[in-house]
Amino acid sequence: MGGILIVEDDENLGRLLERKLAEKGFRVDRTCSGEEARELIRSRGYDVVLLDIRLKDTDGFEILKEFAGDTLTKFIVITGYGDLRTAVEAMRAGATDFIQKPFSFDILEVSIDRALKEKRLEEENRALRSILLEKDQEVLLETRSPAFREVLETAKKVAGSDINVLIRGETGTGKEVLARYIHRLSPRSEGPFIVVDCSAIPEHLFESEVFGHEKGAYTGATQKKLGLVELADGGTLFLDEIGDVPLHVQSKLLRFVETRRFRRVGGLKEISVDVRIISATNRDLSGMVSRGEFRSDLLFRLNVVEINIPPLRERKEDIPLLVDHFLSRYGKKIRKETLKALTDYPWPGNVRELKNAIERAVLLSRGEYVDENLCLPKDGSLECPEDLFSKMPSLEDLELMYVDYLYRRLGSVSKVAEVLRCSRRTVFRKLKKLRERNGNPEEGPLSGPAPDVD
Ligand SMILES: Nc1ncnc2c1ncn2[C@@H]1O[C@H](COP(=O)(O)OP(=O)(O)OP(=O)(O)O)[C@@H](O)[C@H]1O
Ligand SMILES: [Mg+2]
């Protein structure tokens, strides 16, 4: 609503202020009574309240104390001549300013101006904070690990420039999380962050997905299509799983990385874009180079700065922080002994595996504590525990359990398919079956929430 409320029991003064402020273009309400003032402030939410501290029916201080702390409304207190002590107290109680009677209208105007500016700044800050909170909700950027602290420091340092960054780390360590963090801290943060998941694009479509194609470039290309590099213009291009780029596309990619210029498939025109390139991999690119699977010149261009994210087992200090972070969203708790077990576990699937384990336990737990639903494998290996076999599951059940296990650990259908050396379609089918099973928990040993198919 906004506007100004005058709370003044001197009728003449009140009326005069009302008229003058209205002349200046403010929306003004006026009251003589403290009670009515309370009602109005509650229901209308003013920008500024001019509050006479000595009212007939109320002590102005009571109103000040009641509202000044938890609304964005600014209070300018009007005190009697020479009553400096009251003025100081009023400021302590949260008033923005005070004016002593008698006062000139000019002084009041300056004071109102200042209060309005202050309010606008606070509103802006609040809006910014809420955007940051929203973005930060998912990730924890706090750490007790010196190694991870260094990772974050390096990320901050490189964020300001357009240097190409290569992020390395085991699966689930947070490579994409870090890439987004760098983007967010960079001058390009308002621009797009485009992910090219090099492991998920079929080899024959790679070039047209990444660089786009012209209409009629090949059979089936009925429309012109923009490539991912073009969509990233003005922002950051994240080449995820860079080790999976087919060899024959690597030379085209190299040229693009060097010049930021490319041609759409079937196109003659050179297009130039302004992008920052961050790539990520969990593969040993140097080994791939020596085996002739990855171009050394491309690697040289991509890793101007290399950031290595340590696996979770090498930053155990952060496990309690992460557990707390993932639990606190749901208001659930964990007992000390369980937290100790989680800290000792090697987490081969890293932060992703930890996050999935906690979220699964949260979904399965009815009470406040999640402990009984956090079952960890004895070690990090894929061996099935003896007691599982003793239940004598059918081969099909066993298979579904393994797919479920891999999906929770790896987090993507493509990766599960890679481990199982089967097609993505097969993994989809198994996960679908699993989901149907979970709808009916009586039917077999599988339990827990259905995983999302990405
Ligand atoms: N610091 C963090 N705070 C909160 N969640 C995190 C953090 N780091 C990673 N995660 C979570 O862990 C999961 C894996 O993170 P991310 O996808 O960035 O890993 P990755 O290294 O790219 O994995 P992959 O190699 O499998 O692609 C995500 O769900 C992510 O939200
Ligand atoms: Mg990733």
Distance CA 246, CA 227 (A): 17
Query: Which residue, judged by its Cα, is nearest atom 28 of ligand 1?
Result: 352
Q: What would the mean pLDDT of 119-128 be, rounded to a whole number?
A: 73
pLDDT tens digits for 316-349?
999 999 999 999 888 899 999 999 999 999 998 8
C-beta 124 within 6 A of ligand 1: no
Specify whether the CB–CB gap between 409 and 454 falls below 8 A: no
Token pair 């008033």 is found at: 95
Mean of per-residue pLDDT scores for the chain? 86
- Asked if residue 382 has pLDDT above 90, the reply is no
Q: Domain ranges in the chain?
A: 4-134, 159-309, 311-380, 382-454
Query: Which residue, judged by its Cα, is nearest atom 4 of ligand 1?
Result: 139
pLDDT band at 383 (very low <50, low <70, confident <90, very high): very low
Assigned CATH for 311-380: 1.10.8.60
Long-range contacts of residues 109-117, Cβ cutoff 8 Å, at least 24 apart: 109/24, 111/76, 112/4, 112/21, 112/26, 112/48, 112/76, 115/47, 115/48, 115/74, 115/76, 116/47, 116/48, 116/74
pLDDT for the residue numbered 360:
81
pLDDT tens digits for 60-96?
889 998 888 767 889 999 988 777 888 888 888 889 9
pLDDT for the residue numbered 128:
63
Q: What would the mean pLDDT of 139-167 be, rounded to a whole number?
A: 94
Q: What are the two backbone dihedrals, phi and then psi, of residue 75, each rounded to the nearest 5 degrees? A: -110, 125
Q: What would the mean pLDDT of 376-396 be, rounded to a whole number?
A: 62
pLDDT band at 451 (very low <50, low <70, confident <90, very high): very low
CA distances from 212 to 33, 48, 87, 203, 311 (A): 70, 55, 68, 14, 36
C-beta 282 within 6 A of ligand 1: yes
Report the residue among 171, 177, 353 best suited for mutation to probe ligand 1: largest number of ligand atoms under 8 A from its CB: 177
Instruction: Kindly give the distance from the C-alpha atom of residue 138 to the centroid of ligand 1, in angstroms, as a whole number.
Output: 10
C-beta 317 within 6 A of ligand 1: no
Instruction: Kindly give the distance from the C-alpha atom of residue 178 to the centroid of ligand 2, in angstroms, as a whole number.
Output: 10
More confident residue, 417 or 295: 295
pLDDT for the residue numbered 295:
97
pLDDT for the residue numbered 445:
35
- Asked if residue 439 has pLDDT above 70, the reply is no
Query: Which residue, judged by its Cα, is nearest atom 6 of ligand 1?
Result: 139
pLDDT band at 258 (very low <50, low <70, confident <90, very high): very high
Q: What phi-psi label fits residue 319: left (phi over 0), alpha (psi between -120 and 50 degrees) or beta?
A: alpha
Instruction: Kindly give the distance from the C-alpha atom of residue 370 to the centroid of ligand 1, in angstroms, as a whole number.
Output: 22
Tally the C-alpha atoms within 13 A of residue 340's C-alpha that lie toward its C-beta. 3
- Asked if residue 101 has pLDDT above 80, the reply is yes
Class of domain 4-134: alpha beta
- Asked if residue 9 has pLDDT above 60, the reply is yes
Report the residue among 176, 321, 353, 452 best suited for mutation to probe ligand 1: largest number of ligand atoms under 8 A from its CB: 176
- pTM for the full predicted model: 0.61
> What is the CA 52 to chain-centroid distance, rounded?
46
Index of the ligand 1 atom closest to the CA of residue 169: 21
C-beta 138 within 6 A of ligand 1: yes
Pick the CATH number of 159-309 from 3.30.590.20, 3.40.50.300, 3.40.225.10, 2.60.120.260: 3.40.50.300
Q: What would the mean pLDDT of 150-165 be, rounded to a whole number?
A: 95
C-beta 171 within 6 A of ligand 1: yes
- Asked if residue 27 has pLDDT above 60, the reply is yes
pLDDT band at 452 (very low <50, low <70, confident <90, very high): very low
Distance CA 374, CA 368 (A): 14
Q: How many other C-beta atoms can be found within 10 angstroms of the C-beta atom of residue 106?
A: 8
Q: Please name which ligand lies nearest the alpha carbon of 172.
A: 1
Index of the ligand 1 atom closest to the CA of residue 411: 26
pLDDT band at 379 (very low <50, low <70, confident <90, very high): very low
pLDDT for the residue numbered 377:
60
C-beta 273 within 6 A of ligand 1: no
C-beta 175 within 6 A of ligand 1: yes
Give yes or no on whether 4-134 and 311-380 have one common fold.
Answer: no
pLDDT for the residue numbered 127:
63
Specify whether the CB–CB gap between 71 and 45 falls below 8 A: yes
pLDDT for the residue numbered 45:
80
> What is the CA 276 to chain-centroid distance, rounded?
20
Instruction: Kindly give the distance from the C-alpha atom of residue 402 to the centroid of ligand 2, in angstroms, as a whole number.
Output: 22
